[in-house]
């Protein structure tokens, strides 16, 4: 049997330090990074997505970052194709692929054998459904989903029109309900030798880091970045512009909030997002969690890299038996 190629996966909530950990790991272990962040894929969106600068990347190649326009449609199916291609390319060149990010569905599309090949996209069908939502209301579209895929409808709110339409699109294209693509993947074969590390810390410390990160974003000019995107013609209704940091600042620019109110709402919503990320990733029992509060300050990266090397060594010994 051919030995599986190793894939390091570093996950955790926003502001926990995943990016720095991945860069240090890549430097130490001759690796390259594949982003699993649903916002860092967009060009022109740097500050609000906490995208590492060229200097911060320290010469380490970063894949799936700055690869599409903010107005471009993007799906987890497309992400999966691009990420798998990047992983294969990195491995073939003898480098270590390191998947890092906090978008759970993107991570799952790689670490579970999820098959999206049948469910691509039908832009015209999607446009028709969106027009129906505008003319007859979101409930009209939701009622179609309740009839065609009641199990998925039960998990979605009628106002979550983007996911409602996607579920209908999948059924339209494949004849199968969305639940078909959400089976028990844990029992299926994974194509990689996974080394999964989760970074966490005391919740109050994490929230302080989140608040500080938002303050840094404001100092770097997040309001100007958002205004520039609007001036470039990007609609506030785009999926990209609904990301954390962008939708709050748009409401400030439109006069709905003061700047101080927008910042506080952004901090609050980011804290809530971090909580949801932790809930998502804790479902995966393959992840080894490292609590940075239990590691001596200044030795965090060394500890993370040590754990990865230990797991790599162990998996190689197992495969050689």
Closest C-alpha to 15, from 200, 222, 218, 220: 200
Regarding whether 39 and 107 lie in a shared domain, the answer is yes
- The side-by-side arrangement of strands in the sheet containing 288-291 is 62-63, 31-35, 96-100, 5-11, 192-200, 288-291
Tell me which range, 120-124, 161-165, 200-204, is most confidently predicted by mean pLDDT: 200-204
Regarding whether 140 and 52 lie in a shared domain, the answer is no
Domain enclosing residue 128, as ranges: 123-181
The pLDDT tens digits of the residues spanning 271-314 come to 999 999 999 999 899 999 999 999 999 999 999 999 999 888 87
What six digits make up the tokens of 161? Answer: 């029109």
User: Would the pLDDT of 184 be above 90?
Assistant: no
Regarding whether 89 and 36 lie in a shared domain, the answer is yes
The pLDDT tens digits of the residues spanning 227-250 come to 999 999 999 999 999 999 999 999
SS (H, E, C) 162-198: HHHHHHHHHHHHHCCCHHHHCCCHHHCCCCEEEEEEE
Distance in Å from the first CA to the final CA of the chain = 12
User: Residue 177: which pLDDT band, with cuts at 50, 70 and 90?
Assistant: confident
Q: Is the residue at 267 inside a domain?
A: no
User: What H or E segment, with its residue span, contains residue 10?
Assistant: strand 5-11
Q: How far apart are CA 247 and CA 257, in angstroms?
A: 11
The pLDDT tens digits of the residues spanning 119-141 come to 567 778 888 998 898 888 899 99
Residue 203 sits at φ, ψ, to 5 deg, of: -60, -40
The pLDDT tens digits of the residues spanning 91-123 come to 999 999 999 999 998 999 999 877 765 556 777
> What CATH number is given to the structural domain containing 102?
3.40.50.300
User: Would the pLDDT of 321 be above 50?
Assistant: no
The SS3 call for residue 244 is coil
Regarding whether 102 and 66 lie in a shared domain, the answer is yes
């Amino acid at each position: 049997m051919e030995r599986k190629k190793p894939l390091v996966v570093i996950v955790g909530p926003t502001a926990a330090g995943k990016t720095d950990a991945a860069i240090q790991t890549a430097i130490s272990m001759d690796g390259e990074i594949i982003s699993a962040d649903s916002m860092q894929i967009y060009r022109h969106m740097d500050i609000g997505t906490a995208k590492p600068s060229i200097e911060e990347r320290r010469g380490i190649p970063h894949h799936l970052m700055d690869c599409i326009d903010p107005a471009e449609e993007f799906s987890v199916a497309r992400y999966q194709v691009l990420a798998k291609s990047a992983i294969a390319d990195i491995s073939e060149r003898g480098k270590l692929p390191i998947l890092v990010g906090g978008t759970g569905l993107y991570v799952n599309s790689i670490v579970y054998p999820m098959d999206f090949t049948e469910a691509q996209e039908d832009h015209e069908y999607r446009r028709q459904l969106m027009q129906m939502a505008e003319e007859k209301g979101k409930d009209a579209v939701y009622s179609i989903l309740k009839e065609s895929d009641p199990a998925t409808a039960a998990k979605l709110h009628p106002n979550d029109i983007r996911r409602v339409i996607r579920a209908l699109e999948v059924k339209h294209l494949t004849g199968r309900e969305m639940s078909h693509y959400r089976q028990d993947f844990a029992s299926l074969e994974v194509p990689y030798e996974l080394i999964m590390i989760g970074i966490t810390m005391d919740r109050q410390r994490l929230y302080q880091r989140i608040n500080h990160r938002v303050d840094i974003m404001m100092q770097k000019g997040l309001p100007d970045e958002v205004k520039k995107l609007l001036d470039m013609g990007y609609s506030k209704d785009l999926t990209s512009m609904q990301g954390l940091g962008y939708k709050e600042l748009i409401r400030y620019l439109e006069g709905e909030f003061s700047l101080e109110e927008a910042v506080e709402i952004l901090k609050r919503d980011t804290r809530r997002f971090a909580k949801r990320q932790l809930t998502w990733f804790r479902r995966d029992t393959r992840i080894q969690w490292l609590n940075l509060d239990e590691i001596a300050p200044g030795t965090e990266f060394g500890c993370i890299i040590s754990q990865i090397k230990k797991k790599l060594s162990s998996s190689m010994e197992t495969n050689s038996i």
